[in-house]
Structure formats: C-alpha cells, structure tokens
C-alpha cells in the first residue's frame, strides 16, 4: 500500500507557544531511556537544507514521488542527473554539533535508541550506534528488479564514466541530495542500469508516496514501547511516518519533548517544545549534564 504524499501541514486553532527553557529536556536525559527521533532540521547546520523551515526546499522544489520514478524514464533521468550532481556535495557533509551531542548522550547511556527521518548518515558519522534509518540512506542503491544493494559511491563512479564532463551549475541542494537543475541541463544525461541484472536502480530511500517497510515500522514501534520518553529533534512531524511514533508515545503516557524552532504537528502531544537552535541547545544540554562532546564547533 502506498501513502499519499504529505508535503505541507497547516496548524488549526492557536498554536502552542514554544519555550526557551531546555530544562525539561535535561531532566529527561538525566533520567535516561530517551528515544531520539530526528528530522531534517538537525542537519541544516551541516549545510543540508530542510524541507519546511525558513528557506526550506519545498518553496522551490517538489520532491520525486515513488509513482513518478517507477513509471517514467524521463523522470528517472532527471532524478539521477540531479542526484548525481547533488551527491558530490551531499556525500561530503560532516556531522555538526547536534549530531555529536546526540552521539555523546548515547555513549553515556542516556538514550535507548535513535530513529532518524534523515537519509544523510550523519548520526552514524558522528558515532551514534544502532541508528534506525526510517526513510533509508542515500549511501546505498537498490535494484527494483533483483533487489541487489550496492554502494552509492560505486554508482557515482559508473555515472561519472557514462557522463564525462557533466558539471552544470545547480541553483541549490535539497534534503534528499537532489540538486536543482533545469530540464535543459539534464536532457543528455545517461542513466546506468543494475550491474547484476540490468534492472532499474533506485536510491535505498523511501520516496514521497512510498510506504516505509513494515518491519522497520514495527522495529520503531518497539523502540517507542521500550523508551522512557521521546525526544524529537528538528522535525515538523508533518508526515505520518514520524508523527505516528509521537502519538504512540503520548497514548502510552510517555513524555514527548520537542526541540524545533517552528510549530510542529506534534506540539499538542508534547510536554514542551524548545524553540531554539539545535546545535547550540544540545551542546548546552551536554554541558549541563557534564558530558563532553567531541568538537565544539558546528560544521
């Protein structure tokens, strides 16, 4: 079953105001058993834009849907041309202070797990273990015919060979690694097939309009059930894939805490929303808990 893409959400009624006091988050971390659910806002300080924040990519870019990708060869050419160029920047992104703080919390036994909606791999690069990539990872490619998985770097090499000299100037980069290019710029781009069977290659990520694999959802539900509290970092919770875990935690009476500068779809379920920048706030929390964080400057 495919989910209808949810690209935006409009709050109803008077939105709950955020706070600048991270004290409740510090208390939850001190108690331990915190499950982190992170979104694109956590990676903006690494140079990867988010979808819906100030200057978010949805203001200029409509993400590729699963239905369009699988049904249209021109759409796949456009995606891989833009994605190939975007990967040159996206693949070089480094963890920022927020990622490093989350990793430090994990090393000190304060977290029960990390679920991320991001596809950038920056939690793992910062040292977090056992991260559940809810929407997959851009560092892998899957064949839609035979199911073979292969590294993105291998596909990047093959695309370089098939498109020598391809170096257009992009208008911007998006959270899914997709660079903004015109139809004219991608017109002659050559897509390569699966090296094993000749089938269609797709990044191992969940596109808009595509369902998260059921086993992955159940794994996340189990993590929520085992956690003492849920800490949402940098997500508007617009899409149900993340919001459902907030609702699950709230129904079970587990505190939901959110650090996000803007109003989120999950605010009504939260005991607090801290409306402060993520990197500085998480570093401050680490200081308050006397936990050293590797590297103090956000990239």
Q: pLDDT tens-digit profile of 236-274?
A: 999 899 999 999 999 999 999 999 999 999 999 999 999
Q: pLDDT tens-digit profile of 225-239?
A: 999 999 999 999 998
- Is there a binding annotation on residue 147? no
Which tokens go with 120?
């950038």
- Is there a binding annotation on residue 42? yes
Q: Which residue among 84, 99, 135, 269 is the active-site one? A: 135
pLDDT reported for residue 299: 36
- Is there a binding annotation on residue 220? no
Is 242 exposed, middle or buried, given 0-12, 13-18 or 19+ CB atoms closer than 10 A? buried
pLDDT reported for residue 4: 42
43 in helix, strand or coil? helix
Given a cut of 80, is residue 55 above it in pLDDT?
Answer: no
Pick the CATH number of 20-48+95-135+211-299 from 3.40.50.300, 3.40.50.1220, 3.40.50.10490, 3.40.50.150: 3.40.50.1220
The answer to whether 129 and 106 have CB atoms below 8 angstroms apart is: yes
3-state helix, strand, coil in the chain (%, to 5): 40, 15, 45
pLDDT reported for residue 169: 67
Which tokens go with 237?
């919770």
Q: State which fold the 59-92+138-205 domain adopts.
A: SIR2/SIRT2 'Small Domain' (3.30.1600)
Catalytic site residue 135?
A: yes
pLDDT reported for residue 59: 45
What residue segments make up the domains of the chain, in order of their start?
20-48+95-135+211-299, 59-92+138-205
- Is there a binding annotation on residue 146? yes
Task: List the beta bridge partners of residue 36.
Answer: 114, 231
């Amino acid at each position: 079953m495919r989910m209808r893409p949810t690209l935006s959400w409009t709050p109803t009624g008077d939105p709950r105001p955020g706070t600048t006091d991270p004290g409740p988050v510090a208390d939850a971390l001190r108690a331990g058993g915190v499950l982190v659910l992170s979104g694109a806002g956590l990676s903006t300080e690494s140079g990867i834009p988010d979808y819906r924040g100030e200057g978010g990519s949805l203001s200029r870019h409509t993400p590729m849907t699963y239905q369009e990708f699988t049904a249209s060869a021109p759409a796949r050419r456009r995606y891989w041309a833009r994605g190939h160029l975007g990967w040159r920047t996206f693949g070089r992104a480094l963890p920022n202070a927020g990622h490093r703080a989350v990793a430090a919390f994990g090393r000190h036994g304060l977290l029960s797990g990390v679920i991320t909606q991001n596809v950038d791999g920056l939690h793992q690069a910062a040292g977090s273990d056992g991260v559940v990539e809810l929407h997959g990872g851009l560092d892998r490619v899957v064949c839609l015919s035979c199911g073979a998985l292969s590294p993105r770097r291998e596909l990047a090499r093959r695309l370089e060979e098939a498109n020598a000299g391809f170096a257009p100037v992009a208008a911007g980069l998006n959270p899914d690694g997709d660079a903004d290019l015109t139809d004219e710029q991608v017109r002659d781009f050559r897509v390569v097939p699966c090296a094993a069977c000749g089938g269609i290659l797709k990044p191992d990520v969940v596109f808009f309009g595509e369902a998260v694999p059921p086993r992955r959802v159940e794994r996340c539900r189990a993590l929520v059930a085992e956690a003492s509290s849920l800490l949402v970092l940098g997500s508007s919770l617009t899409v149900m894939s993340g919001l459902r875990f907030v609702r699950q935690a709230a129904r079970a009476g587990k505190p939901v805490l959110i650090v996000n500068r803007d109003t989120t779809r999950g605010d009504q379920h939260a005991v607090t929303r801290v409306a402060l920048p993520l990197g500085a706030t998480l570093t401050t929390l680490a200081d308050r808990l006397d936990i050293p964080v590797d590297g103090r400057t956000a990239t």
